[in-house]
Amino acid sequence: MASEPVIRAEKLRKIYRIGSIDFPALDGVDLDIDQGEFISIVGPSGSGKSTLLNLLGALDRPTSGHVYVEGSDLFRRNENQLAEFRNRKLGFIFQAHNLLMRTSVIANVSLPSLIAGDSRAKRTKRARELLESVGLGDKVTRKPTELSGGEQQRVAVARALMNEPLIVLGDEPTGNLDSKTGAEIVSLLKRINQERRTVFILVTHNPEVANETQRVIHLRDGRISHVERMPV
């Protein structure tokens, strides 16, 4: 029996209205993502990559179509329920400006669990473990401003994992890094994916990053043009 996909997108459309002109950013996307997948979404700018990521990340609502996560229709939820969903089931890594710069590294990492209402002891313990595992065990009390770009992204990775999410979404997570540091971040994500079976969906325009993923979704003009399966 084929297991149910973790995420299923059905006929996903997102139309932006600019003046009186409708601009379809996504024009009917169907996509299944299975447990433990490590995938990338690529395509030229304006192809709808970010729009798709925003919809999968419950940050935005589609004009029509559905996203099912573990079988339940995501956009039947109200805004507070979506916020709760993002908090408990998702992790986000953005290209830059991921962190609260005036707040310590450990507080940044703990934030999702603070929102979830976990005890301070639990938060601190888990945040320390995660920072340890991304190689920042010695920098927990630093401010993000004192860290390098690569280190800041590691903090963002640790934060994304804080509430043991089902899915981690990365929007150009290596976009602001040099290629060596970028590669380190990607291999960190891969390691986590293998260890924890967390789904990773990365939007990127960097073929080196895409090449590291199991499946590459190519978008063009708001549709999936083709899907590449990478050799494992």
Partner 1 sequence: MRERKLRAVLTIAMVMIGAGLMTALNGMTTGMYEYMGAQFGTLGANVVIILPGMESTTRITEQTVSVIRQIKGVKSAVPFVQQIATAQSGGDMASVLITGTDQRYLKDIFPGVEVAEGALAAPHDSIGLVLGHNVAYPPDKPTPFARVGGVLTISFTIVKDKQPETVKRTFVVRGILTEVGTAGMFLPVDRMVFMSLPAATNLFDTAGNYSGVNVITNGPDEAERIASEIRRIYGRSFEVYTSKTLITMIQNILGAFSLFLGSVASVSLIVASVGIFAGLYTSVMERTREIGLLKAIGFKKRGILGVFLGEATLIGVIGGLLGDAVGVVLGYGMAIIAGQVRGELTTEMGAPQISYVPPLFTPENFLYILVFSIVVSMLAGAYPAWRASRLDPVVALRKE
| Least distance in angstroms from the C-beta of 1 to partner 1 | 33
For binding to partner 1 (CB under 8 A), which residues are involved?
Answer: 54, 57, 59-60, 79-80, 83-84, 86-88, 92, 94, 96-98, 100-102, 111-112, 115-116, 159
Closer by beta carbon to partner 1, 33 or else 168 = 168
| Least distance in angstroms from the C-beta of 222 to partner 1 | 16
| Least distance in angstroms from the C-beta of 89 to partner 1 | 10
| Least distance in angstroms from the C-beta of 88 to partner 1 | 7
Closer by beta carbon to partner 1, 202 or else 216 = 202
Closer by beta carbon to partner 1, 40 or else 87 = 87
Closer by beta carbon to partner 1, 2 or else 18 = 18
The three-state (H, E, C) secondary structure of the chain, written as one string: CCCCCCEEEEEEEEEEEECCEEEEEEEEEEEEECCCCEEEEECCCCCCHHHHHHHHCCCCCCCEEEEEECCEEHHHCCHHHHHHHHHHHEEEECCCCCCCCCCCHHHHHHHHHHHHCCCHHHHHHHHHHHHHHCCCCCCCCCCHHHCCHHHHHHHHHHHHHCCCCCEEEEECCCCCCCHHHHHHHHHHHHHHHHHHCCEEEEECCCHHHHHCCCEEEEEECCEEEEEEECCC
Closer by beta carbon to partner 1, 59 or else 230 = 59
| Least distance in angstroms from the C-beta of 17 to partner 1 | 15
